[in-house]
């Protein structure tokens, strides 16, 4: 299959089940909400080393937020609800409570699975905090030097999917980066997903385990490293003409959101200098969610 002269490999992206929470951060301006969101999602690229995967989902206008102020929505992913809750408490407490003018609300209010966030952060108020119940949702007002920090008591957690991905195989590093940047811009327009790596792009794709260091959970994906092509013991997956590979990883609240993001990303990445679009999988051993590239683009080929 080809799209705009770029080969689409007949393979699938292999993803796995996770749990996710959504935080709605509001502030006096988009700038301050974004400051808190960026701090909250820092060092959250992979559960392999960060305990959580997180990213900015969308910028929100006042008619999309609980208090009518400018806001940002953030998605956090971990392997179970307890870990999502722990990360929310840590990151809201350290990055949102501390940021001028912010408030923080649950972005999944209809989810029956709940974790305590404001209910734990309230202790920072040293018993000077106060609460109010509005339409069945409890909020805490925590006194701070600036005034008060408003945070919702509990946040919803739901089933989610992590690890959807595409691989961009290009002639050189410039072509790979240009295609990746175009793909990220297109994918970030989809609600319900985040791209947790820096700028949405991964240069250090990994494989499960390691050949030479048994204690490693993951190690470099040597099959896609151009400098290892032809090296003894390396079974390269790179076709001729490929000099650089970049990966984009997508986490989402549901399958449909990830499918939409992958589809838009592939379309945007098929540009001059790109040889092939592929995906990372482990033969179905890592996760039960498989996103077949040809199926995603079936509409394009009709």
Distances (CA, A) of 226 to 13, 191, 235, 262: 21, 34, 11, 24
For the chain, the straight-line distance linking the first and the last C-alpha, in angstroms and rounded, comes to: 12
Q: What is the pLDDT of residue 283?
A: 80
Q: Which residues pair with 130 in a beta bridge?
A: 141
Q: Domain end: 126, 158, 190, which one?
A: 158
At 300, the pLDDT band (50, 70, 90 cuts) reads: low
Q: Using the 3D structure, point to which of 114, 143, 158 is the last residue of a domain.
A: 158
What pLDDT sits at residue 128? 98
The residue behind tokens 């009518």 is 68
Per-residue confidence band for 107, with pLDDT thresholds at 50, 70 and 90: very high
Cβ atoms < 10 Å from Cβ of 44:
22
CA distance 175 to 32: 34
Q: What is the pLDDT of residue 76?
A: 98
Confidence of residue 282 (pLDDT cuts 50, 70, 90): confident
Per residue in 158-185, pLDDT (tens digit) is 999 999 999 999 999 999 999 999 999 9
Q: 40 with 128, same domain? A: yes
Looking at the structure of the chain, the number of domains it has is 2
Is the pLDDT at 295 greater than 90? The verdict is: yes
Token code pair at residue 130: 């106060």
Q: What is the mean pLDDT of the chain?
A: 96
Query: Do 154 and 33 share a structural domain?
Result: yes
Provide the pLDDT confidence category of residue 246 given band limits of 50, 70 and 90.
very high
- Using DSSP bridges, classify how beta strands 289-292 and 12-26 pair: parallel, antiparallel or unpaired: antiparallel
What are the angstrom distances between the C-alpha of 265 and each of 83, 165, 166, 171? Answer: 30, 10, 8, 18
Domain of 124, in residue numbers: 18-158
Check whether 301 has a pLDDT greater than 70.
no
Answer yes or no: is pLDDT of 302 > 60. Answer: no
Q: How confident is the model at residue 286 (pLDDT cuts 50, 70, 90)?
A: confident
Is 299 a residue whose pLDDT tops 90?
no
Nearest Cα to Cα of residue 301 among 267, 259, 256, 260: 267
- How far apart (Å, rounded) are the C-alpha atoms in residues 10 and 33? 42
pTM: 0.94
Q: Are residues 232 and 152 in the same domain?
A: no
Could you tell me if 51 and 10 lie in one domain? no
Partners of 6 in the β-ladder: 3
């Amino acid at each position: 299959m080809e799209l705009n002269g770029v080969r689409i490999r007949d393979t699938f992206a292999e993803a796995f089940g996770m749990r996710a929470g959504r935080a709605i951060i509001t502030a006096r301006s988009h700038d301050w909400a974004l400051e808190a969101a960026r701090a909250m999602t820092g060092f959250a690229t992979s559960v392999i080393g960060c305990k959580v995967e997180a990213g900015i989902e969308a910028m929100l206008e006042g008619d999309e937020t609980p208090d009518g102020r400018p806001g940002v929505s953030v998605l956090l992913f971990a392997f179970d609800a307890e870990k999502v809750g722990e990360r929310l408490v840590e990151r809201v407490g350290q990055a949102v409570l501390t940021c001028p003018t912010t408030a923080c609300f649950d972005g999944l209010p209809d989810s029956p699975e709940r974790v305590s966030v404001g209910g734990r952060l309230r202790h920072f108020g040293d018993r000077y905090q106060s609460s109010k119940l509005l339409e069945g949702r409890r909020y805490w007002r925590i006194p701070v030097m600036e005034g008060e920090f408003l945070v919702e008591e509990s946040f919803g957690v739901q089933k989610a999917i992590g690890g959807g991905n595409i691989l961009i195989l290009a002639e050189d590093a410039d072509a790979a980066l240009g295609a990746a940047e175009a793909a990220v811009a297109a994918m970030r327009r989809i609600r319900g997903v985040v791209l947790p790596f820096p700028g949405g792009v991964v240069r250090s794709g990994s494989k499960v385990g390691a050949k030479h260091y048994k204690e490693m959970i993951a190690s470099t994906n040597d099959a896609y490293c151009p400098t290892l092509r032809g090296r003894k013991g390396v079974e390269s997956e790179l076709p001729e003409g490929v000099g650089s590979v970049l990966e984009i990883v997508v986490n989402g609240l549901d399958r449909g959101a990830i499918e939409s993001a992958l589809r838009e990303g592939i379309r945007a990445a098929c540009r001059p200098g790109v040889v092939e679009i592929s995906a990372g999988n482990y033969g179905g051993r890592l996760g039960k969610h498989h996103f077949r590239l040809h199926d995603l683009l079936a509409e394009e080929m009709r």
